[in-house]
Amino acid sequence: MRRRAAIVPKALRALGFAAGLDVLLSVSGAQAGDPASTARAAMDLFAQNCFSPFMTAEKARKTFALSGATYDFYDLDPFSSADPSPATGRPATPGTDRRCEIAFAGNHADKAAATAVEALTKEGITTPAPLPASYTETETTTLLAARRLNPRRTAIVHVGTRNGPQGTETFMLVERLLPTNDQN
């Protein structure tokens, strides 16, 4: 598989990413219900919360309590003064100390990737970093990129589709690499 050199996949460049994207939708007061509403709410929750160093397992449990979506979160070495949050879903990915992921029914990967890119930009996380060989693109990957969080830390963002309990689901995840696993 070839790796994506840029964080903006071809589909997003065709949408005119440089001109801006209007894909972030407000969730305040929104009720998820139908799959499209759930997808919009889940994308917005990811964008607003998964890049925050202040997210904790307790906050994730409350924040991602969205009917029709699943989430996974751990933070073994918080940037903030919060207590560590152990991996309670899937095991921690080797070489990482944090994961924030949300998944929801249907194929909404292009909008989810655009939402992730916009959130990275909004947070000022724009410096490319080498993508470790342990992260590989699949046929259903829409976005796979590494971005520098600070001189010692890198975030890996992965958006795509996979088989879920109800059929195809879209997933959005960000994992933070341990400093020893960062590539300079």
pLDDT digits (tens, 9 = 90+) for 126-180: 999 999 999 999 999 999 999 999 888 999 999 999 999 889 999 999 999 998 6
pLDDT value at residue 180 = 63
For residue 61, the enclosing domain spans: 10-18+33-181
Confidence of residue 5 (pLDDT cuts 50, 70, 90): very low
Which pLDDT band holds residue 75 (cuts at 50, 70, 90)? very high
Q: Is the pLDDT of residue 109 over 60?
A: yes
Place of tokens 């949408």: 15
**Domain tally, the chain:** 1
Q: Span 92-118, mean pLDDT?
A: 97
Q: Tell me whether residue 79 is in a domain.
A: yes
48 within some domain: yes
The tens digit of pLDDT for each residue in 19-69 reads 333 332 333 333 456 889 999 999 999 999 999 988 999 999 999 998 999
Rounded Cα gap, residues 73 and 57, in angstroms: 6
Closest CA to 11 of 106, 113, 121, 105: 113
Residue 34 is predicted with a pLDDT of 83
